[in-house]
Amino acid sequence: MMNDKTPDEWEVELGQQVRDVRLRQNIDQQRLAEQAGVALNVVKRLEGGKGTTVTSLIKILRALGRVEWLSTLAPAVSISPLQMLHEKPARQRASSTRGTRHV
């Protein structure tokens, strides 16, 4: 189950995903670090599952063209659940039976 992972396990998984994307794009760690504006050891720590700052993660994801990953963390809510509680449901009426008589 997804909720069974420890923070350390999540760091490792995130690092592996970043590494996989980097390798698919055929970029080495040094080049990614330069494009992201971070130190090489930041990329190595992230990919090694040792974590990094949120700022560095954002820079790296932006350099990889994957900044949209961040929007999946907390998608925008279009309707507030509290608002839904206060709204009255639309009235429904029985359809008319024109031309038909019930006996």
The predicted model gives 23-28 an average pLDDT of 96
| 33, two tokens | 């670090």
Mark out the alpha helices in the chain (DSSP H runs).
Answer: 7-24, 29-36, 40-47, 54-63, 68-71, 81-86
Is the per-residue pLDDT at 33 higher than 70?
yes
42 vs 89 pLDDT, higher one? 42
Is the per-residue pLDDT at 95 higher than 90?
no
pLDDT digits (tens, 9 = 90+) for 76-93: 767 766 776 777 666 777
Place of tokens 């279009």: 78
The pTM for the full model equals 0.68
Listed in sequence order, the residues at least 6 apart from 64 whose beta carbon sits closer than 8 Å to its beta carbon are 18, 21, 22, 25, 27, 32
Mean predicted lDDT score pLDDT of the chain: 85
Is the per-residue pLDDT at 15 higher than 60?
yes
Q: Give residue 97's pLDDT.
A: 67
The predicted model gives 64-86 an average pLDDT of 78
Give dist(CA 34, CA 48) in Å, integer: 18
- How many beta carbons lie within 10 A of that of residue 65, not counting itself? 9
Can you identify the CATH homologous superfamily of domain 2-73? lambda repressor-like DNA-binding domains (1.10.260.40)
